[in-house]
Amino acid sequence: MVKLCSTLLKSSTHLASCPFNPSIKRMKVLNQRIKANWEISLLLLLPLLLLSITQIWIFNLNGQLDPWFYLGYFIRLKQYLIAFPDTYYGSRLSWVLPGYLAYFLFPPLVANYVLHLSFYSLATLSLYFILRPSVGRRAAFLASASMGSYAYFLLAIGWDYVDVAGITYFLLTVLMLSWAARKESWTAWMVLSGVFFGALIYTNIIWLLFAPSLLIYYVLTNHPHRRRKTLIKIAAFVGGVLAITLVLGSINYEIGGKFFFFMPSVNMVLGNAGKPNPWRIDWQEWLPRATWLILPLVVLLGSTGTLILSRLRKSFGQSDVVPLPAIFIASCLSMIFLEVKAVPVLQNTYYVSYLIPPMFLAIGAPLKSLATLSSDRFAVVTGFALILIIFPLIAVLVSSNQPIIFCLLFVAAILFSVASNFNQKKIGSVLAILLLTISASISFGQGWTVNQSVKQLQANALTSKAALDSQVTVINVQKLFRDIDPTVNVFFWYSAKELGVYRSIASATLWGYRLISEEFPSLQGYGVSSSTPLSPEKLSELKTRFTASPKIAIFSQQKDSLQQAIDSLKTVGFTAKSTATYPVKQDTIAFTITIIEVSKITDTL
Q: Are residues 529 and 412 in the same domain?
A: no
Q: pLDDT tens digit string along 62-115?
A: 888 999 999 999 999 999 999 999 899 999 999 999 999 999 999 999 999 999
Query: Any idea which of 177-181, 311-315, 338-342 has the lowest mean pLDDT?
Result: 311-315
Q: So what's the pLDDT on residue 393?
A: 78
pLDDT above 60: residue 315: no
Q: How confident is the model at residue 5 (pLDDT cuts 50, 70, 90)?
A: very low
Q: pLDDT tens digit string along 582-596?
A: 999 998 899 999 999
Q: So what's the pLDDT on residue 3?
A: 46
Query: Any idea which of 42-46, 83-87, 368-372, 497-501 has the lowest mean pLDDT?
Result: 368-372
Q: Are residues 106 and 237 in the same domain?
A: yes
Q: So what's the pLDDT on residue 213?
A: 96
User: Left (φ > 0), alpha (ψ -120 to 50) or beta: where does 229 sit?
Assistant: left
User: How far is the C-alpha of 555 from the C-alpha of 575, rounded, in Å?
Assistant: 18
In terms of average pLDDT, the best of 12-21, 344-353, 426-435 is: 344-353
Percent helix, strand and coil across the chain, each rounded to 5?
70, 5, 25
Is 38 within the bounds of a domain?
no
Is 16 within the bounds of a domain?
no
Q: Are residues 389 and 485 in the same domain?
A: no
Q: So what's the pLDDT on residue 360?
A: 95
Q: How confident is the model at residue 29 (pLDDT cuts 50, 70, 90)?
A: low
Is 242 within the bounds of a domain?
yes
Q: Are residues 539 and 400 in the same domain?
A: no
**Domain assignment of residue 161, given as a range:** 85-444
Q: So what's the pLDDT on residue 13?
A: 47
Is 75 within the bounds of a domain?
no
Q: So what's the pLDDT on residue 215?
A: 95
pLDDT above 50: residue 8: no
- Which of 113, 46, 44, 102 is closest to 74 using CA atoms? 102
Q: So what's the pLDDT on residue 30?
A: 60
Q: How confident is the model at residue 317 (pLDDT cuts 50, 70, 90)?
A: very low
Q: How many domains does the chain have?
A: 2
Is 23 within the bounds of a domain?
no
Q: Are residues 163 and 287 in the same domain?
A: yes
Summary mean pLDDT of the chain: 86
Q: Are residues 207 and 126 in the same domain?
A: yes
**Amino acid present at 594:** T
Which H or E run includes 598?
strand 589-600
- Which of 113, 86, 79, 85 is closest to 99 using CA atoms? 113
Q: 521 preceded by cis ω (within 30°)?
A: yes
Is 66 within the bounds of a domain?
no
What percent of the chain is modeled with pLDDT above 70? 86
Q: Are residues 480 and 415 in the same domain?
A: no
User: How far is the C-alpha of 549 from the C-alpha of 425, rounded, in Å?
Assistant: 73
- Which of 535, 496, 498, 534 is closest to 515 using CA atoms? 496
Q: So what's the pLDDT on residue 390?
A: 85
Q: pLDDT tens digit string along 174-188?
A: 999 999 998 888 899
The number of angstroms, rounded, from the C-alpha of 29 to the middle of its chain's C-alpha atoms is: 36
Q: How confident is the model at residue 191 (pLDDT cuts 50, 70, 90)?
A: very high
- Mean pLDDT across 470-479: 95
Which H or E run includes 552?
strand 551-556
Task: For the sheet with 551-556, list strands across it.
Answer: 515-517, 491-494, 551-556, 589-600, 574-586
Q: Are residues 154 and 208 in the same domain?
A: yes
- Which of 321, 298, 299 is closest to 310 using CA atoms? 321
Q: pLDDT tens digit string along 229-282?
A: 778 889 999 999 999 999 999 999 998 888 999 999 999 988 887 777 777 888
Cβ neighbours around 290 below 10 Å, total: 17
- Mean pLDDT across 444-448: 56
Question: DSSP assignment of 480-536, as one string?
Answer: HHHHH-TT---EEEEBTTT-THHHHHHHTTTGGGGEEESBTT----TTS-TTSPPPH
Q: So what's the pLDDT on residue 481?
A: 96
Q: Are residues 436 and 541 in the same domain?
A: no
Distances (CA, A) of 501 to 136, 144, 336, 590: 47, 35, 36, 10
Q: Are residues 409 and 536 in the same domain?
A: no
